[in-house]
Amino acid sequence: MSLLVLVGWTATAVGTVLGIPQLVRTARTRNVEGLSLIGWQAILAINLGWTAHGIRIGQAPQIVASALSLIATVPILHILSRQLGRRTIPAFVPGLALAAAMIGVDQFLGSAAYGLFAIIPGVIAIGGQSVELVRAPHVRGVSTASLLLGALNQTLWAIWSVMLQDSGSMIAILATSVLVVFNVVWYFLRRLGLRAFFAPTLESMPLTAGLAAPR
């Protein structure tokens, strides 16, 4: 087994399970404090877009990791939208539309163009989570395990993309790595007592967002 294959399948294993701790926490507590609806909509697009890209370039690790990630992404997005008082089907539409755009760019403009375009959902997903970590009154709905596994997964895929020399993968993954590091650092600062910045007022928060009991 080559080193490229080993790294790819290790990243696949991590990517497949990284959403599970967040799903378990969200399903058990219904606490969505610190989670980003926009971020999870973008993650849905990422799962679908990278599954299609993996199929196009014939890389099984990318296909398996992205496709199986939907097992966690879909129910998390469903629960999150319900807890925020949103209808489920409309909550899925932005992610599906963005995924269709990603697939279209990949098919008609090639891997490099896809890599540049794929930065958009990556930044939305990670940046959306960054915003919530900064402004949410509490971050008790965020799974520490999923956050750390996400950082490990990002590192592994960055290594894999450099080894593979696939321009699309390298551009998208490396460009979002800074935000991943920020999220991990800021999350632990919040858990250590750092206050929220630009927190929403009570009047602007959905009534269902604060129904979950603190954990």
Question: Are 46 and 122 in contact, with CB atoms under 8 Å apart?
Answer: yes
Spatial distance between the Cα atoms of 159 and 174, rounded to a whole number of angstroms: 9
Return the structure tokens found at 139: 């971050």
Mean confidence (pLDDT) of the chain: 87
Q: Report whether pLDDT(6) > 50.
A: yes
Q: Residue 175, class by beta-carbon neighbours within 10 Å (0-12 exposed, 13-18 middle, 19+ buried)?
A: middle
| Closest among 124, 120, 15, 110 to 62, alpha carbons compared | 15
Prediction pTM value: 0.83
Pseudo-torsion of CA 66, 69, 74, 75, nearest 10°? 180
Share above pLDDT 70 across residues of the chain, in percent, rounded to a whole number: 92
The number of angstroms, rounded, from the C-alpha of 54 to the middle of its chain's C-alpha atoms is 17
Instruction: Give the confidence band of 206 by pLDDT, cuts at 50, 70, 90.
Output: very low
Per-residue pLDDT tens over the stretch 29-71: 999 999 999 999 999 999 999 999 999 989 888 888 889 899 9
Helices 3-17 and 60-83: crossing angle, nearest 10°?
20
Q: What is the radius of gyration, based on Cα positions, of the chain?
A: 17
Question: Are 42 and 98 in contact, with CB atoms under 8 Å apart?
Answer: yes
Q: Which residue has the tokens 């920020």?
A: 182
- How far is residue 202 from each of residues 78, 102, 128, 131, 210, measured CA to CA in Å? 23, 37, 20, 17, 10
